[in-house]
Amino acid sequence: MDAVKYIEILELNLIPFIEESNKNYIFQHDNDSKHTANKTCQFLKDNNIKTLKWPAYSPDLNPIENIWGILKRNVRKRIPKDKNNFIKIINEEWDALNKNITKSLIDSMPNRIREVIKNKGDSTTY
């Protein structure tokens, strides 16, 4: 995926969500090149989207990374046979994710942030 595709995703998903909710948000993404590309930064600026400043060496703050890891392990255990089976398994495993894990990861955010600050932006145990 490149910045153009990323912006397309933001246009189709983030912008309508923000407009519909009518609340102030701070958008979180990391230092992936498509997130920091000039095109993306300009898009965010043009749409008045505030972003969370992200430490250069710490992908640890985003709980979705933990969820992707769990999903990946669960899908691998089922050994998909072909593309359609793979997609089916991903959807089933996504639906089967324990919601308490997601809540726990989100609830851990204050501790994650404290640890990153303590480590001066470097990696943490999360």
Question: How many CB atoms within 10 Å of residue 74?
Answer: 16
Give pLDDT, residue 62.
Answer: 77
Maximum Cα–Cα distance across the chain = 45
Dump the DSSP string for 10-23: IIIIIHHHHHHHTS
Specify which of 59-63, 83-87, 103-107, 121-125 reaches the highest per-range mean pLDDT.
83-87
- Strands (DSSP E) contained in 41-89 are 50-51
Give pLDDT, residue 65.
Answer: 83
Give pLDDT, residue 117.
Answer: 83
Residue 126 belongs to a domain: no
Find the radius of gyration of the CA atoms of the chain.
17
Residue 101 belongs to a domain: yes
Structural domain boundaries, residue 22: 3-51
Give pLDDT, residue 112.
Answer: 83
- Provide the domain count of the chain: 2
Residue 125 belongs to a domain: no
Residue 124 belongs to a domain: no
Give pLDDT, residue 126.
Answer: 65
**Which of the four pLDDT bands, split at 50, 70 and 90, describes residue 57?**
low
Summary mean pLDDT of the chain: 88
pLDDT digits (tens, 9 = 90+) for 81-111: 999 999 999 999 999 998 899 899 889 888 8
Query: Running DSSP on this structure, what letter comes out for residue 82?
Result: S
